[in-house]
Amino acid sequence: MVLSKPAGLLSQGESTGDFNLVDWCREYFGRNYVGLVHRLDRNTSGLMVVAKRSKSAERLTEALKKGQLVRIYQALLHGNLSAPQEWIHFLKKNEATNTVTVVRGDSPGSKEARLKVKPLKHYRSAFTLAEFELDTGRSHQIRVQASASNFPLAGDSKYGAPKSALTRPALHSARIRFPHPMTKEMIELTDELPADLTKFIASL
């Protein structure tokens, strides 16, 4: 099943005990098993693919590892990104604070993070609506790499953006492409920006 996760909903359960996407899927499917193939941060909206059975989960996870499950994001950035770029950094996560930092490649626990970004539209030379394609899937990857490249996401005060009317990072999973786990037919789905982001963009 492919669904559009709203911002504010956890992908899976954590220590808070808050209702989450896995809980919702268990109710919807009417059984306990839910194959969560990939995750979105709590305050990231947009498309996710969820497997209803373990065999599908295995095949979708394998497609993700091979780069056949492609995730395209849109984000509103501070600054004027003038041309497509590839960003490569080494990231390290602090589990205690749930924050990620850019570190040297030889730092213990560091993981390489790669993505491609291209501008879609500019607003007053102060903001850029950009599209991201992940080559790796690290925690907070787009947010941290954008900040490290001096293009922090609007609303993302955790990673350097100035405070604004947005109450969450302007990040949305806009398109997903993957081979069907049984038929191998390529499936591609898109999801428009949600109301909170379109409202903020309209105010620029």
Please state, in angstroms and as integers, the Cα–Cα distance from residue 184 to each residue in 63, 66, 69, 187, 188, following that order: 10, 14, 12, 9, 12
Please give the pLDDT value at position 11. Answer: 94
Please give the pLDDT value at position 79. Answer: 96
pLDDT tens-digit map of 99-129: 999 999 999 999 999 999 999 999 987 999 9
Least trusted range by pLDDT, from 12-16, 30-34, 38-42, 188-192 = 12-16
pLDDT tens-digit map of 68-107: 999 999 999 999 999 999 999 999 999 889 899 999 999 9
pTM, full prediction: 0.93
Alpha-carbon distance of 117 to 142, in angstroms, equals: 10
- Which of 23, 41, 106, 191 is flagged as catalytic? 41
Sign of CA dihedral 196, 187, 48, 31: positive
Average pLDDT across the chain, whole number = 94
pLDDT tens-digit map of 162-173: 999 999 999 999
Catalytic, 41? Answer yes
Domain residue ranges of the chain, discontinuous segments joined by +: 2-202
Helix (H) or strand (E) holding 29: helix 21-29
Sign of CA dihedral 130, 131, 134, 139: positive
CB 7 within 8 A of CB 44: yes
pLDDT tens-digit map of 20-68: 999 999 999 998 999 999 999 999 999 999 999 999 999 999 999 999 9
Please give the pLDDT value at position 124. Answer: 85
Please give the pLDDT value at position 17. Answer: 80
**Residues 133-159, mean pLDDT to the nearest whole number:** 95
**Residues 136-158, mean pLDDT to the nearest whole number:** 95
Please give the pLDDT value at position 14. Answer: 77
Please give the pLDDT value at position 193. Answer: 98
Name the token pair of 118. Answer: 């291209």
Amino acid in position 171: L
pLDDT band for position 182 (cuts 50, 70, 90): very high
Please give the pLDDT value at position 96. Answer: 87
CATH number for domain 2-202, candidates 3.10.620.30, 3.40.50.2300, 3.30.2350.10, 3.30.70.2190: 3.30.2350.10
